[in-house]
Structure 1
Amino acid sequence: MSFVDSNVPGLSLSHRLYNKTVLIVGGGEVAYTRLQKLVPTKSKIHVVSPKLDPKIIQEYGHLIQVVDSPMDAVVDELPLKEAVIFHTPRFFYLEDFELSKTKNKSINFITPELFESLTAEEISQRCEEIAFDEWALILICIDDPNMSLKLFQYATLKFPNVPLNICDKPKLCPIYFGAVAKIGGENGVDCMISSNGKAPRFAALLKKDIEKRYTDIDVAGSCNKIEQLRNALKKENIVQQHKGPIIPVRMGFLIYVTDSFGLFQCQKLDCEKLEHLFMEVYIHKTKELPSKESLVKYYTLT
């Protein structure tokens, strides 16, 4: 049974798990490394394991609530302000894949006619129920290879569209974890380095090297400035005045600006002046787009 060829590259995507529900089977060292990646996403995490690695308790003890089973977990307040970890302190049973004893089995059923008949409130409620009461990700992190395979196969059959990961079996995993270089702190840039499951430690070494190389870049400041400029160019008055498709024009302008200022100067963008430049070049057509050198010279904050 093999789903994956490590010589065929995967598609690297960022999976938003905010408010969604994740299952981890196992509470050891591997589970700890998974929690390091999951807790910042502010998701609802279920860990089923007789014991937890001491590092999990030390680092995430304030987030842990003990429950008898995943079915018994209740979130008092949504959306989540921080991740919550529900720990079921026993071995995992196949029945634990069920999240609700009284689940509405028809909640996933939808047709164009039914969708059009629902109110906005009913649609939102259904979306929330699926987000909070369906697994968004299943991670099997136990040492028993036979039980791991059994759980993986059962989950594959029961949840064919839920991303699955089984530790130490890269050829089975339709998804895998890369090393993520954090450049510029929590609000900076995430850079994923993946060996397609071949050599995770080598990817981790590359991650550390990248983080060291770019410590002097104001990543958060640069990203915030570019976001500010993007939002300014999406103003309704700009969109309405532009004749023809505006998205490719806006994207081209942002690429040109970002490339012109480069890695070390984007935090100095004068967004107000650049917004006026966009209007003059693409809306009023009273100016030509300046050279990259002129752009940096005249559109940098002083």
Structure 2
Amino acid sequence: MPSQSLLLAHRLEGKNVLLVGAGEVAFTRLKKLIPTGARVTLVAPEVHPTIWDQYCSFIDLNEANDMDFTDQDWTSKKGIYRLIKKSFNLDYLDLYRKDNDSGWSLILTCIPNKPLSEEIYHESKRRFGSQQTVNVADNPPLCDVYFGAELNFGSDNDTKMQLMISSNGMGPRFVALVRDEIKQLLEGIDFQASLNNLGALRQAVRTIANNDSNDTKYRMNWMKQCTETFGIKNCENLKVQELTKLFQEMYNNDQDLQFPPKNEMFGKYLQ
């Protein structure tokens, strides 16, 4: 029986990602990669029109001297960093290599050429070691990571809450349907406001209780109980300043964790 995957939030801002292929599958990868701020190097002889329109605006083919384009004004979340409009060459694996460091946080292949995809996978492992993270589209045994179904809460530029569901490569469309069901169940809740409130409250109580490990433990337990008291439907309406005063009172009272009755909490500490 296969083991479970460890679901992690991968921080990619400013880090190099190699994407081989520029078709429809590659487009689905770019939709997830670009918002992370990753520096994507795309290698493909032909590029899907949608990828051109959305992620390659810095390229002017009429002024190009070769087929290797780098966005000299690239900034995080703007688009791809580099396009090599050629067939893949294994030497491209060493584009950003420094000694034993491959320079790639991720290596992804999205091409219909199965032998080449497998060669890229095995050569990446040979050159950089088994720890190099590689994903070969539509080939689960050659995937160190999977792209699950994501649900983002908040605006495109300020998403603080994300959910991911993975079938470990077994049924991507099925988990997308599960994601859509969850989205419908949670519609109407302002998660961005909730997280902003909780983040502000967390920062405020940290300034009060930050002396030692006992303070840290108390603060974490207090935040846990406070969040559970209001639940997911009410945190968007928290009165952060009033709750900060409550924390100060409870902290001064021998680090008390006995909250007021729920009806009092709702009446006094919600907008």
Q: Normalising by the residue count of structure 2, what TM-score does the alignment of the two structures yield?
A: 0.87
**1:117-172 Cα distance to aligned partner (Å, 9 max, x none):** xxxxxxxxxxxxxxxx8111110111111111111000112223232100111122
2:186 is the alignment partner of 1:217: no
**Corresponding residue SS for 1:90:** coil
Alignment of 1:105 with 2:75, yes or no, is no
Secondary structure of the residue aligned to 2:162 is strand
The size of the alignment, in residue pairs, is: 264
Cα deviation 1:89-142 (Å, max 9, x = unaligned)? 111111001124xx6538x6xxxxxxxxxxxxxxxxxxxxxxxx8111110111
1:150 counterpart = 2:119: yes
Cα deviations by residue, 1:218-254 (Å, 9 ceiling, x for unpaired): 111101000000111121x5323xx652222222111
- Judged with a 3 Å threshold, the aligned counterparts in structure 2 of structure 1 residues 172 and 266 are, in CA distance, closer, same or farther, namely same
Secondary structure at 2:107 match in 1: strand
**Aligned match of 1:257:** 226
Q: Which residue of 2 aligns with 1:238?
A: 209
User: Counterpart in 1 of 2:244?
Assistant: 275
Question: Match of 2:209, SS?
Answer: helix
Q: 1:140 and 1:286 mapped to 2: Cα distance? A: 54
* Equivalent position of 2:48 in the other structure: 53
Native 8 Å contact 1:184 1:215 kept in 2 = no
Q: Which runs of 5+ in 2 are unaligned?
A: none
Contact 1:182-1:211 within 8 A present in 2 as well = no
Q: For the aligned residues, what is the CA RMSD?
A: 2.6
Distance 1:295 1:283 in 2: 19
Residue 78 of structure 2 corresponds to: 82
2:160 paired with 1:193: no
C-alpha distance 37-244 of structure 1, shift in aligned 2 (>3 A)? closer
Flag the 1:81–1:27 CA change in 2: closer, same or farther, 3 A: closer
Code of the residue aligned with 1:14 in structure 2: it is A
Tell whether the 8 Å contact from 1:268 to 1:300 is kept in structure 2 after alignment: yes
3-state DSSP of counterpart to 2:135: strand
% identity of equivalent residues: 32
User: Distance between the aligned counterparts of 1:139 and 1:65, measured in 2?
Assistant: 26
Kept after mapping to 2: 8 A contact 1:64/1:85: no
- After TM superposition, the score normalised by the length of structure 1 is 0.79
Identify unmatched segments of 5+ residues in structure 1.
Answer: 109-132
Residues of 1 paired with 2:262 and 2:27: CA distance?
Answer: 47
Aligned residue identity for 2:23: G
Query: Which has the bigger relative contact order, CA under 8 A and spacing at least 6?
Result: 1
| Aligned equivalent of 1:247 | 216
